[in-house]
Amino acid sequence: MKAISSIPRSTVRRRAPRHAGLAAAVALAGLALAACGGSSNAFSATSSSSAAGASSSAGAAGAGKNLTVGGANFTEMLVAEQLYGQVLAKNGYTVSYKAVENREVYEPALEQGQIDVVPEYAATMANFMSKRVNGTNAPDIATSDATTTVSAMQPLLEKKGLKALTPSTALDANAFAVTKKIADANHLTTLSDLAKLNKSLTLAAPAECPDRPFCQPGLEKTYGLKIGKLLPLGFGSPQAKQAVVSGKADMVETGTTDATLGGLGLVALQDDKKLQLADNIVPVVNTQKAGASDIQTLLDKVSAALTTDDLAQLNLKVDAERQKPEDVAKQWLQSKGLL
């Protein structure tokens, strides 16, 4: 067996890892409310009108058929917003889009009805809402199971006039990758397999990794991995992945929807002990404006079809191939018979 320390091999990441600093983030919610109060100024830089690929029937929609789909302003969420919006537009709704920088802005706007539908991450939203409703010292409520997590946050959402629909299997969580060469040589498919090698590892990850429960502490406590050295090269950055390619690091922290790994000769190991929380993509709606059963039916169809690999490939088409989010969303929806 080759020593793991002799690993010879290691994009655009769309956002920083979650599960950190939620209490501080929620403390900003009051500022966000002020920013959103009664005007659309908070969205002026990122607003757009109806969906690319919307059918002509959308323009004939009557009163109460106007919906705003919004959320975060990075590739993965922009694609998800288009997936939701284009399906709604195809089925008679007039859809506009409002993407902003962070949850602290769009969640209050969702409450106020300035945004009607957002794609969310189940675990992150659950923990956010726990603190949003019960204060910054409220405990986290997310688990590694998507259905349980959505059920736990549902009463909190209801207090704010919101509702989470059915989560998809598409999961964007932290992932840890090694070279495929080493994985194949040592029969590694899971993080537990890696731990059995009992080797001291060099990890390429954010500088905060030693303080994050889902990074170094979790790897050591849950799996018994030995992190002997940290290279503070960021989350899934090209530099971090290149460190593994070049042999300077044994493993890199990235995301489950990072579709660049295969091209670099890297492979993500399965989180077989469920260290990471269930950050599955899930629609969250304002119940007064988007609580109709037909809206849930349409969005549930998207969730039922969307997988982690689909999401990764959609991200790659935007980030690496420079396609537009609306175009890749339309192509995917058509391939699934949803448009």
Q: Are residues 167 and 285 in the same domain?
A: yes
Instruction: Say if CB 118 and CB 110 are below 8 A apart.
Output: yes
Choose between 248 and 48: higher pLDDT. 248
Over residues 2-30, the pLDDT tens digits come to 334 333 222 333 454 444 433 333 343 33
Q: What is the pLDDT of residue 101?
A: 85
Radius of gyration of the chain (CA): 21
Instruction: Say if CB 88 and CB 94 are below 8 A apart.
Output: no
Q: Are residues 151 and 64 in the same domain?
A: yes
Q: Are residues 237 and 320 in the same domain?
A: no
Residue 296 lies in a domain: yes
Over residues 122-143, the pLDDT tens digits come to 999 999 999 999 999 999 999 9
Q: Are residues 152 and 227 in the same domain?
A: no
Write the DSSP string, 219-285: HHHHH--EEEEEEE--SS-HHHHHHHHHTS-SEEEEETT-TTTGGGTEEEEB-TT--S---BEEEEE
Query: What percent of the chain shows pLDDT beyond 70?
Result: 81
Tokens of 58: 């959308």
Q: Are residues 118 and 57 in the same domain?
A: yes
Q: Are residues 287 and 259 in the same domain?
A: no
* Mean residue pLDDT across the chain: 86
Q: What is the pLDDT of residue 3?
A: 38
Q: Are residues 180 and 193 in the same domain?
A: yes
Q: What is the pLDDT of residue 261?
A: 96
Helix (H, G, I), strand (E, B) or coil at 209: helix
Q: Are residues 163 and 193 in the same domain?
A: no
Q: What is the pLDDT of residue 201?
A: 98
Residue with tokens 């495929």: 180
Choose between 26 and 255: higher pLDDT. 255
Over residues 202-243, the pLDDT tens digits come to 999 999 999 999 999 999 999 999 999 999 999 999 999 999
Over residues 45-82, the pLDDT tens digits come to 344 434 344 333 333 333 369 999 999 999 999 999 99
Residue 328 lies in a domain: yes
Q: HSE-up of 61 (CA within 13 Å, CB side)?
A: 20
Least confident span in 2-11, 61-70, 314-323, 330-339: 2-11
What is the domain count for the chain?
2
Which residues form the domain of 236? 4-18+174-269
Domain of 211: which CATH number?
Answer: 3.40.190.120
Residue 95 lies in a domain: yes
Q: What is the pLDDT of residue 64?
A: 65
Q: How many helices and strands, by DSSP H and E, does the chain display? A: 14, 11
Answer yes or no: is pLDDT of 148 > 70.
yes
Q: What is the pLDDT of residue 241?
A: 97
Residue 28 lies in a domain: no
Of 269, 292, 317, the residue at which a domain comes to its end is: 269
Report which of 321, 233, 225, 219 is spatially closest to residue 276, judged by C-alpha positions.
Answer: 219
Tokens of 56: 């002509």
Residue 25 lies in a domain: no
Q: Are residues 55 and 131 in the same domain?
A: yes
Q: What is the pLDDT of residue 91?
A: 97
Of 269, 297, 316, the residue at which a domain comes to its end is: 269
Tokens of 2: 């080759």
Query: What percent of the chain shows pLDDT beyond 90?
Result: 80
Q: Are residues 306 and 263 in the same domain?
A: no
Task: Return phi, psi of residue 68, to 5°.
Answer: -110, 120
Domain of 302: which CATH number?
Answer: 3.40.190.10
For residues 48 and 110, what is the distance between their CA atoms, to the nearest angstrom?
17
Q: Are residues 289 and 166 in the same domain?
A: yes
Answer yes or no: is pLDDT of 34 > 50.
no
Sequence-separated (6 or more) residues with CB below 8 Å from residue 268 = 175, 176, 177, 254, 256, 258, 261
Of 212, 237, 269, the residue at which a domain comes to its end is: 269
For residues 301 and 295, what is the distance between their CA atoms, to the nearest angstrom?
10
For residues 222 and 192, what is the distance between their CA atoms, to the nearest angstrom?
9
Residue 158 lies in a domain: yes
Task: Return phi, psi of residue 238, to 5°.
Answer: -55, -35
Q: What is the largest CA-CA distance in the chain?
A: 68
Sequence-separated (6 or more) residues with CB below 8 Å from residue 149 = 122, 123, 126, 141, 142, 143, 167, 277, 278
Residue 23 lies in a domain: no
- Give the confidence band of 31 by pLDDT, cuts at 50, 70, 90: very low
Helix (H, G, I), strand (E, B) or coil at 339: coil
Q: Are residues 182 and 45 in the same domain?
A: no
Q: What is the pTM of this model?
A: 0.81
255: amino acid identity, one letter? G
Residue 265 lies in a domain: yes
For residues 246 and 231, what is the distance between their CA atoms, to the nearest angstrom?
13
